[in-house]
Amino acid sequence: MTALLTAENLGVTLSGRAILRDVSLSLQPGHLVALVGPNGAGKTTLLRALAGLLPSTGTIHVGRDDLANLSLRERARRFGYLPQGHVVHWPLEVKDIVALGRYPHGATDPAWLSPTDETAVMRAMLVTDVNGFADRRVTELSGGERSRVALARVLAVEAPIVLADEPTASLDPRYQLDVMKNLRHTADDGVLVVVVTHDLGLAARFADTVLVMSQGRLVAQGTPAQALSDQVMAEVFRISAYRADYQSETVILPWAGV
């Protein structure tokens, strides 16, 4: 299968400090990729660089296209990007927030959507289960509900690549599972989904591939069992882990410091 997103010798320097160093990767469509690592490892920087939101050295290709040659509008069509700590301050109705995901396709007014745009918005709201409060103002919703609305906006783009930066942060376990299941289903529909997460248990359960970063470098990648080996857990995260299989799924649970 042809890679959908590749990077070669990717580097990012901010304020004179090297944040990313020589990162190379090749990611396939239809995969959920978990990007993990300690605080300050460079995870968010890598995600933003892959979307073209930060200046970088090296090369990034989306399919056969060099990212540097894509217009801003075309990049917005190729990537659905959910930033860390996404907050909406405007008292807009949920359906209008989700409709913002159609802006890269020319929908500049949520009140005037084409049939194609309306279908994409409705599909995204159904998948994330926010259609029940489509007419409510997003500022009236709980934190968990807002996070689902933010994800719906990203899914409404119908981009081939979704980049989500800690989409489960500050959510209770039920909503964490809901968000990860939605992203898993999105990947199963053929989208490449890259998720930054600190929850190694969720990464092990839902991801096809895990990328482990440390000090700006990609130090391990593979299946959850491969990338989150005992050696990596000890050297990168300084912990040991409990491992098991439950209902045909991998369980990796951080257990103790080492």
How would you classify residue 158: left for phi > 0, otherwise alpha for psi between -120 and 50, otherwise beta?
left
Q: What distance in Å separates the CA atoms of residue 105 and residue 101, rounded to the nearest whole number?
A: 8
How many domains are contained in the chain?
A: 1
Amino acid 87: pLDDT: 65
The pair phi, psi for residue 21, each rounded to 5°, is: -135, 115
Distance of CA 58 to CAs 19, 55, 83, 197, Å?
14, 10, 23, 25
Q: Which of 185, 165, 176 is nearest to 143 (CA)?
A: 176
87: domain CATH number is 3.40.50.300
Contact 213, 50 (CB under 8 A): no
Cβ-proximal residues to 38 (8 Å cutoff; 6+ apart), any chain:
214, 236, 237
Length of the chain in terms of residues written: 258
Amino acid 28: pLDDT: 96
Tokens 């997460």, residue located: 197
pLDDT tens-digit profile, the chain (258 residues): 789 999 999 999 999 999 999 999 999 999 999 999 999 999 999 999 999 999 999 999 999 999 999 999 999 999 999 998 766 777 899 999 999 999 999 888 888 899 999 999 999 999 898 999 999 999 898 888 888 899 999 999 999 999 999 998 878 888 889 889 999 999 999 999 999 999 999 999 999 999 999 999 999 999 999 999 999 999 999 999 999 988 888 899 999 998
Which amino acid makes up residue 142?
Answer: S
Q: What distance in Å separates the CA atoms of residue 10 and residue 168, rounded to the nearest whole number?
A: 27
Q: Kindly write down the DSSP assignment for every residue of the chain, as one continuous string.
A: ---SEEEEEEEEEETTEEEEEEEEEEE-TT-EEEEE-STTSSHHHHHHHHTT-S--EEEEEETTEEGGGS-HHHHHHHEEEE-TT----S--BHHHHHHGGGGGGT---TTS--HHHHHHHHHHHHHTT-GGGTTSBGGGS-HHHHHHHHHHHHHHT--SEEEEESTTTT--HHHHHHHHHHHHHHHHTT-EEEEE-S-HHHHHHH-SEEEEEETTEEEEEESHHHHT-HHHIIIII-EEEEEEEETTEEEEEEEEE-
* pTM (predicted TM-score): 0.94
Q: Which domain holds residue 40?
A: 5-257
